[in-house]
Amino acid sequence: MSRVMIYKRFERFWHWCQALLIFTLLITGFEIHGSHSWLGFGDAARIHTLAAWALIVLWLFAIFWHFTTGEWRQYIPTKNGLFAVIHYYLIGTFTDAEHPYRKTTRAKHNPLQRLAYLFFKVVISPVIWVTGLLYLFYNDWPATLAGALELEWVALVHTGAAFAMLVFIIAHVYMTTMGHTLTSHIKPMVTGYEDLDQ
């Protein structure tokens, strides 16, 4: 066992800011959608827009970070060991089996995590960004776009992606409790350090 820095300072900053912003966006977004009326539509829309811009800026930094550090490779999907991980979560966890995946600093996400995070990064988030920006700049659509697209469709896709985001977060938050102890997966995301078998 060795204690290593697995989540670097920027990565943790990015993760927790993103978490805060996504929760803000989900709460205000579902108010804009009409699912609840906590803040009032006007404030919800204002906060939603602000949080969206903040998240865009954060993402620009995160994309830069991923490419300059090579960390983007952490998300390359692999079939190798995927079914073992799925089997562990469905059965092994109840029989006290060992987690089949051995984390390293160069491959810190197991194959299922890689898939889930990749889906989050290249499907859910881009769909939300594109539809969100279209939504925000609805009045400035060029004529060709305005002729081909309706706000209603943009809103529906944006809402659909928000549901996908909510599903992702529920599963993600739950799965962080599945380490050796309830918090053993969460601690490294706070302190950066984890004890790895190496």
What residues contact residue 29 under an 8 Å CB cut-off, 6+ apart? 48, 162
Decide if 85 contacts 101 (C-beta within 8 A). yes
In the complex, the residues that contact other proteins under the rule CB under 8 A are: 31-34, 37, 40-42, 45, 49, 89, 93-97, 138-139, 150-152, 155-156, 159-160, 162-164, 166-167, 170-171, 174, 177-178
CB of 136 to other proteins, least distance (A): 9
**DSSP structural state of residue 138:** G
Nearer to other proteins, 84 or 164 (CB): 164
Residue 136 CB neighbour total at 10 angstroms: 15
Q: For residues 195 and 4, what is the distance between their CA atoms, to the nearest angstrom?
A: 6
Decide if 133 contacts 102 (C-beta within 8 A). no
CB of 22 to other proteins, least distance (A): 15
CB of 133 to other proteins, least distance (A): 14
Provide the token pair at 141. 């659509």
CB of 174 to other proteins, least distance (A): 4
Nearer to other proteins, 68 or 90 (CB): 90
Nearer to other proteins, 13 or 138 (CB): 138
Provide the token pair at 140. 């400035």
Nearer to other proteins, 40 or 77 (CB): 40
